[in-house]
């Protein structure tokens, strides 16, 4: 079995948590010590996101804007909880080609623009042992 890594993972970039009540959750995480960076709506994904920082890492609280989005269905099925984990990678397009060739089930086969203009892509939970996995492109020098 070939266990050579397919891609380079530089670290955990952020964790995404789905919540029903964004204001209450924002208050709870601020009191936990996270610094609120901004709250933004991403209508094309049907979510409102509160982005926080703690040290070099980030936390996203997501709440659905409608009842149809993936986040809405996740919330309806499971309630509040961890929705995805995002890892920092240096070259996202190349990473996706590598993973695709190796049989990983990609939700995004090409990078797309996410929160803050980040280039991101998602890997299906079926390929990551039940965890919706996001890859975020970062400049290698910044890590
Ligand atoms: Co995310």
Average pLDDT of the residues in 72-76: 95
Average pLDDT value over all residues in the chain: 93
Position 32 pLDDT exceeds 90: yes
- Determine the pLDDT at residue 114: 84
Residues 35, 36, 37, 42: is their CA dihedral positive or negative? Answer: positive
Query: Mean per-residue pLDDT for 42-51?
Result: 92
Distances (CA, A) of 83 to 3, 76, 105, 133: 27, 12, 17, 9
| Separation of CA 1 and ligand 1 centre (Å) | 31
Give the predicted TM-score (pTM) of the model. 0.91
Instruction: Tell me how far the alpha carbon of residue 115 lies from the centroid of ligand 1, in angstroms.
Output: 8
| Ligand 1 centroid, distance to 5 Cα (angstroms) | 23
- Mean pLDDT within 84-94: 96
pLDDT number for residue 8 = 94
Measured between its terminal Cα atoms, the distance across the chain in Å is 30
């Amino acid at each position: 079995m070939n266990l050579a890594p397919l891609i380079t993972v530089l670290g955990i970039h952020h964790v995404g948590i789905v919540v029903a009540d964004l204001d209450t959750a924002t208050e709870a995480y601020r009191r936990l010590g996270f610094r609120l960076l901004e709250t933004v709506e991403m209508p094309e994904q049907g979510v409102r996101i509160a982005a926080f920082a703690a040290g070099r890492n980030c936390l996203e609280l997501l709440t659905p804007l409608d009842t149809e989005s993936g986040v809405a269905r996740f919330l309806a099925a499971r309630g509040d909880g961890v929705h995805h984990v995002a890892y920092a990678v240096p070259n996202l397009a190349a990473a996706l080609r590598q993973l695709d060739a190796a049989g990983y089930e990609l939700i995004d086969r090409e990078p797309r623009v996410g929160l803050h203009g980040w280039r991101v892509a998602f890997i299906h939970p079926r390929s990551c042992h039940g965890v919706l996995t996001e890859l975020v492109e970062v400049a290698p020098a910044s890590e």
